[in-house]
Amino acid sequence: MKEKLVLIGNGMAGIRCLEEIIAIEPERFDITVFGDEPHVNYNRIMLSKVLQGNTQMDEIVLNRRSWYETNGIHLHTGDAVAAIDSTGKTVTSVSGKTVPYDHLIIATGSNPFILPLPGADQQGVIGFRNIQDCETMMTYAKKKKRAVVIGGGLLGLEAARGLLNLNMDVYVVHVLDSLMEAQLDAQASAMLKEELEAQGMTFLMNKQTIQLNGDGHVTGLTFKDGSELAADLVVMAVGIRPNIKLAQEIGLQTNRAIIVNDYMETSLPDIYAVGECAEHRGVAYGLVAPLYEQGKTLAKRLVSGSRSEVTPYTGSVVFTQLKVSGVDVFSAGDFHETEETKSIRVHDEFDRVYKKVVIEENRVRGAVLFGDTSDAPRLLDLMRKRTDISSLSKVEILPAENSTPGEHPVVTMAADEIVCGCNGVTKGRIVQAIVEENAVTLDGVKETTNACRSCGGCKPMIEALLEHTLGEDFQVKTADTLCNCTDLSHEQVATEIREKGLQTTKEVMNVLGWKNEEGCSKCRPALNYYLGMIHPLEHEDEPASRFVNERLHANINKDGTFSVVPRMYGGVTDVQQLRKIADVAEKYNVPLLKVTGGQRIDLFGVKKEDLPHVWKELDMPSGYAYGKTLRTVKTCVGERFCRFGTQDSVGFGIRMEKKLEGMSSPHKVKLGVSACPRNCAESLIKDVGLVGLEGGWDIYVGGNGGVDLRQGELLGRVGNDDEAEQLILAFLQLYRENARYLERTSAWIERVGLESVKEQVFARQPELAARLEITLSTFQEPWKAIVENDEVKNQLFQPGGVQ
């Protein structure tokens, strides 16, 4: 009979340890896992990214239920272990299950530390540790305005960035005068603060909270200096406390956490601890890299049955990277300077780059990098190997050695250098997986080597290695998978739809073997788009596969009301339209009428049930301000009234808007038409931007004025409006056929390069334009159809109706 192994804690460290055990000897143990949370094992680290809106909740699952089943693991989720009987060798759960063990692993992680202040037990005061906390913040952001994060450490700043992305006003209260003081020196910390202030955070430094005000729900904070701050939500990110209650109850030796030796053995036989709840040589780690190293040692210890064959775990060099987009921060080891240390510093005030390497007895002891973290893997390698650097010239230590311009520094790294710090995966292992084990996509590398399965910070390096190793094959092969329901990439799915003549999302999922037969929020809209793009005449749009804004043909506002943006071709209106808008706004008590950046009038705050009436009475076409389609064509005044104008920008803008109206596309598309290089219509930050010249137009593509600001690049120069239209149609069709769903023109061109786009647009102009004409011929104004259809009206627009 198999020995019984019980794991308490279905989290990152415990499950990684099981993965290591299974990799060595899959059949060795009869395994049972208890998890307090109702979920399978997920990537806790990525909750920051989920909150920031860069990742979906269903993308952060690390082990699906099928993994537990395949490996014969008895999984009990949502059922915490309440007691351990170390004499009888059993554990008993809250729901009353008693399970015997031969070996017991405690991997209960930590709890967020909630400051024991008066008022801290009110609603609206939370930590940030699990899916539930993340969802709570997202819910608050929909109805509340001001968030206060207490704690300017890694977690607090990542939470603050997420709350900003959710459109809250964010205040960070920090007890010291320097952010992330455990990871950064004063200079880097000041630069970080400046950068985050520029992103929109407000900092209250040197502030000690003494009370949380409110009457059951938090309303604000009072500080020791007597000042106060209002708050709708308070997130405490002031550190963690290892979860050691069970261990203490059975008398295990504990300090801050459960004391373990170099084999992760606790003070009682057959009981082991791993992860944040374990304390090794006086250190309880709070980052995954050391926890995974511990998991590896424990796996070997358990499988081998004794210590003799196991290399002991002796501790880890820790490093951190802040996961806030637009800020590159890295810190490793001990960066404090003493009489025994000397430092190398680089501070480039122009590019806002700061680097400091602290050296002791010819060995790198710690490093802080801000603004450029490309040296991080090399510095970490020097630290991990304790390399004697006396033979290196000091200037060589900071800039990446031997790298040629345009080439990623990972290319020149040695094979034994670590690329993925979280998972301890070397460059050599990744290259081996790519070359010998057919791991030719990012997901493939993840699955084969574990690299990039945690914070994702090594993703650019792995992509660079894929590109370097695969050469010309890279483009096709490294395309990311569409979503977790399939192993196929966007490109592969589109090809299969074409080649197999697939017609509906259900059919695609069946024929291409979707893992989740219902699909997910990522693949359903993508498939609906690809099907419509490939079969423009045959495909019946599937509203259920669309995002709510697109289903309701209106933008949902923060407070649950909607905004209505009628189309005004080229930004031109007239007295009749203005009068109608004014009447409707008055009749339906529209609280805010606003001229948009795209030169339209937006009626904000319309109730869902009023939408059909508002649209009927406006009797204007939808401006599609919610859709993955043509949004606006912004025009300048042009030659008719402006003395600099060389072209009829208004006329051509209106012509293009009427032509492209309703065009489905991978993402929103905006045009700008300026009649001279003064560019009053901001043509260079549009997906397609025209700039008038004497006798023609310059056409720019791939501009973006949003978060990822990008200037458009010149696609070509044309002599008249007809030529301009043809070139634009060809460009947009190439984009529609080749970009991945939800990829803006800017990101697409950045990925494939302007030269390849130009080459294809000019070589295939007539056929591309003709295909787009077919798609455009199918357009139907959506609101007309809705207003005339009582069934749709009732189904979608009743108060609280189906969304």
Ligand X SMILES: NC(=O)c1ccc[n+]([C@@H]2O[C@H](COP(=O)([O-])OP(=O)(O)OC[C@H]3O[C@@H](n4cnc5c(N)ncnc54)[C@H](O)[C@@H]3O)[C@@H](O)[C@H]2O)c1
| Residues near ligand X (CB under 6 A) | 115, 150-156, 158, 173-176, 181-182, 208-209, 237-240, 286-287, 320-323
Residue 323 interface partner, choices ligand SF4, ligand FES, ligand FAD, none, CB cut-off 5-8 Å depending on type: ligand FAD
Instruction: Enumerate the β-bridge partners of residue 187.
Output: none
Residue 642 interface partner, choices ligand X, ligand FAD, ligand SF4, none, CB cut-off 5-8 Å depending on type: ligand SF4
- The answer to whether 734 and 757 are in contact (CB under 8 A) is yes
Give me the amino acid identity at 426: T
Is 17 one of the annotated binding-site residues?
no
- The phi-psi region of residue 124 (left if phi > 0; otherwise alpha if psi is between -120 and 50; otherwise beta) is left
Q: Cβ 201 to ligand FAD, closest distance in Å?
A: 17
- The answer to whether 83 and 70 are in contact (CB under 8 A) is no
Helices and strands per DSSP (H, E), number in the chain: 27, 36
Q: Cβ 444 to ligand SF4, closest distance in Å?
A: 49
Q: Tell me which of 172, 260, 368, 420 binds ligand FES, using CB under 6 A.
A: 420
Quick one: 682 or 750, whose CB is closer to ligand SF4?
A: 682
Give the number of residues in contact with ligand FES, rule: CB under 6 A.
11
Is 676 one of the annotated binding-site residues?
yes
Residue 680 interface partner, choices ligand SF4, ligand FES, ligand X, none, CB cut-off 5-8 Å depending on type: ligand SF4
Q: Tell me which of 271, 455, 497, 796 binds ligand FES, using CB under 6 A.
A: 455
Give me the amino acid identity at 255: N
Count of beta carbons in the 10 Å neighbourhood of residue 512: 19
Helix/strand/coil for 184: coil
Residue 772 interface partner, choices ligand X, ligand FAD, ligand FES, none, CB cut-off 5-8 Å depending on type: none
Helix/strand/coil for 110: strand
Quick one: 566 or 653, whose CB is closer to ligand SF4?
A: 653
Enumerate residues 6+ apart whose C-beta is below 8 A from 779.
661, 662, 663
Residues that bind ligand SF4 (CB under 6 A): 636-638, 642, 644-645, 649, 674-676, 678-680
Is 642 one of the annotated binding-site residues?
yes
Mask of contacts with ligand FES, 422-441, x by CB under 6 A? Answer: xx------------------
Quick one: 49 or 744, whose CB is closer to ligand FES?
A: 49
CA distance 160 to 169: 9
CA distance 575 to 319: 63
Question: Which string of DSSP letters, residue by residue, matches 131-173?
Answer: HHHHHHHHHHHHH--EEEEE--SHHHHHHHHHHHHTT-EEEEE
Look at residues 260, 233, 257 and name the one whose alpha carbon lies nearest to residue 246.
257
Quick one: 17 or 332, whose CB is closer to ligand FES?
A: 332
Quick one: 156 or 703, whose CB is closer to ligand X?
A: 156
- The values of phi and psi at residue 692, to 5°, are -75, 145
Count of beta carbons in the 10 Å neighbourhood of residue 777: 9
Quick one: 131 or 792, whose CB is closer to ligand X?
A: 131
Quick one: 287 or 400, whose CB is closer to ligand FAD?
A: 287
Q: Cβ 741 to ligand FES, closest distance in Å?
A: 25
Helix/strand/coil for 478: coil
Give me the amino acid identity at 154: L
Quick one: 420 or 718, whose CB is closer to ligand FES?
A: 420
Residue 366 interface partner, choices ligand X, ligand SF4, ligand FES, none, CB cut-off 5-8 Å depending on type: none
- The answer to whether 3 and 30 are in contact (CB under 8 A) is yes
Instruction: Kindly state the tokens that stand for 83.
Output: 């007691």
Residue 637 interface partner, choices ligand SF4, ligand FES, ligand X, none, CB cut-off 5-8 Å depending on type: ligand SF4
Q: Cβ 688 to ligand FES, closest distance in Å?
A: 37
Enumerate residues 6+ apart whose C-beta is below 8 A from 195.
326, 327, 352
Radius of gyration of the chain (CA): 29
Q: Cβ 748 to ligand FES, closest distance in Å?
A: 26
Residue 674 interface partner, choices ligand SF4, ligand FES, ligand X, none, CB cut-off 5-8 Å depending on type: ligand SF4
CA distance 560 to 548: 12
Residue 107 interface partner, choices ligand FAD, ligand X, ligand FES, none, CB cut-off 5-8 Å depending on type: ligand FAD
How far from chain centre, in Å, is Cα 295?
Answer: 27
CA distance 536 to 525: 16
Q: Cβ 275 to ligand FAD, closest distance in Å?
A: 2
Is 485 one of the annotated binding-site residues?
no
CA distance 307 to 612: 73
Q: Cβ 420 to ligand FES, closest distance in Å?
A: 3
Residues that bind ligand FAD (CB under 6 A): 8-14, 34-37, 44-45, 47-48, 80-81, 107-109, 128-129, 155, 243, 246, 275-276, 286-289, 291, 323, 422, 455
End-to-end CA distance of the chain: give it in Å, rounded: 53
Residue nearest to ligand FAD (CB): 11
CA distance 146 to 167: 9
CA distance 107 to 258: 10
Residue 486 interface partner, choices ligand FAD, ligand SF4, ligand X, none, CB cut-off 5-8 Å depending on type: none
Look at residues 546, 10, 623 and name the one whose alpha carbon lies nearest to residue 275.
10
Residue 420 interface partner, choices ligand X, ligand FES, ligand SF4, none, CB cut-off 5-8 Å depending on type: ligand FES
Q: Tell me which of 242, 333, 457, 519 binds ligand FES, using CB under 6 A.
A: 457
Instruction: Enumerate the β-bridge partners of residue 635.
Output: 673
Instruction: Enumerate the β-bridge partners of residue 657.
Output: none
Interface residues with ligand FES (CB under 6 A) are 420-423, 451-452, 454-458
**Positions at the binding site for siroheme:** 680
**Positions at the binding site for [4Fe-4S] cluster:** 636, 642, 676, 680
**Positions at the binding site:** 636, 642, 676, 680
